[in-house]
């Protein structure tokens, strides 16, 4: 019976991963929590505590092997598994995300684009063309899809989300400005751009 790992820790893991990639690029083989803490501007204690939520990846007197730690964090974040994504909402933002996902991260594969606007149907975005929303149920029967990227206006977001859930989608990357009510086994990660912009605005006033 493992203790739940806190949100605060999980939010920090991708940042560790990013810094370890950087170290790899610099051909640095090993690093101590102390040195890493200076680079990242956090305490060494926090780094060691965070990592030890998942296991002992270091060695006394040596520190951490960069390649090994990098790969382990990758596994923790599920980056070793293949993820198939569909885009729901192929407007400006959606198209940008579709391109972005393709180029930036292998193992995240965009496999279908959808939109409710019939005018967009057939439009090429990278290697894919946009399908109409009413083709979605059939598509999900014949393709394995892990994650739906939701880039639609907030007005329709909840109902489209419900549809996605009823079709068996277990992960939603939500760019709509609403909180989505989903069952426990469905995971939602929100990117609320306007919230982010408001926070910046606050910091500046």
Q: Which residues bind DNA (CB under 7 A)?
A: 6-9, 32-34, 42-46, 48-49, 51-52, 56-64
> Of DNA, its own copies, none, which one does residue 162 interact with (CB within 5 to 8 Å by kind)?
none
Lookup result for tokens 């959808």: 114
39: nearest Cα among 31, 51, 29, 50: 31
Least separation, in Å, of the C-beta of 163 and its own copies? 19
- Strands (E) located in the chain: 30-31, 58-59, 63-65, 83-88, 108-115, 124-125, 128-132, 147-150, 171-174, 187-190
Closer to DNA by CB, 58 or 94: give it: 58
SS3 150: strand
* DSSP-assigned beta bridge partners for residue 108: 83
Closer to its own copies by CB, 117 or 196: give it: 196
The binding site for its own copies (CB under 8 A) comprises: 10-11, 13-15, 17-18, 76-79, 81, 83, 91-93, 95-97, 99-101, 104-105, 108, 146-147, 170-171, 173, 177-178, 187, 189, 191-205
Least separation, in Å, of the C-beta of 193 and its own copies? 7
Least separation, in Å, of the C-beta of 166 and DNA? 31
Report the distance separating Cα 166 and Cα 91, nearest Å. Answer: 24
Backbone angles phi, psi at 173, to 5 degrees: -100, 105
Closer to DNA by CB, 44 or 93: give it: 44
Least separation, in Å, of the C-beta of 202 and its own copies? 5
Least separation, in Å, of the C-beta of 102 and DNA? 34
């Amino acid at each position: 019976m493992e203790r739940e790992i806190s949100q605060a820790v999980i939010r920090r893991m991708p940042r560790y991963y990013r810094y370890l990639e950087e170290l790899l690029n610099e051909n640095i083989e090993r690093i101590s929590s102390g040195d890493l803490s200076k680079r990242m501007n956090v305490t060494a204690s926090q780094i060691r505590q965070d990592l030890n939520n998942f296991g002992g990846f270091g060695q006394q007197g040596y520190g951490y092997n960069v390649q090994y730690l990098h790969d382990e964090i990758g596994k923790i974040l599920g980056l070793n598994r293949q993820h198939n994504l569909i885009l729901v909402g192929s407007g400006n933002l959606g198209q940008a995300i579709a391109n972005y996902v393709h180029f930036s991260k292998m193992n995240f594969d965009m496999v279908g684009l959808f939109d409710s606007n019939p005018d967009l149907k057939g439009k090429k975005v990278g290697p894919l063309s946009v399908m109409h929303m009413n083709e979605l149920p059939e598509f999900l029967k014949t393709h394995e899809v892990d994650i739906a990227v939701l880039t639609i206006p907030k007005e329709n977001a909840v109902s489209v989300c419900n549809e996605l859930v009823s079709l068996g989608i277990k992960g939603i990357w939500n760019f709509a400005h609403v909180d989505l009510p989903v069952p426990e086994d469905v995971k939602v990660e929100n990117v609320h751009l306007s919230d982010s912009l408001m926070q910046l605005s606050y910091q500046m006033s």
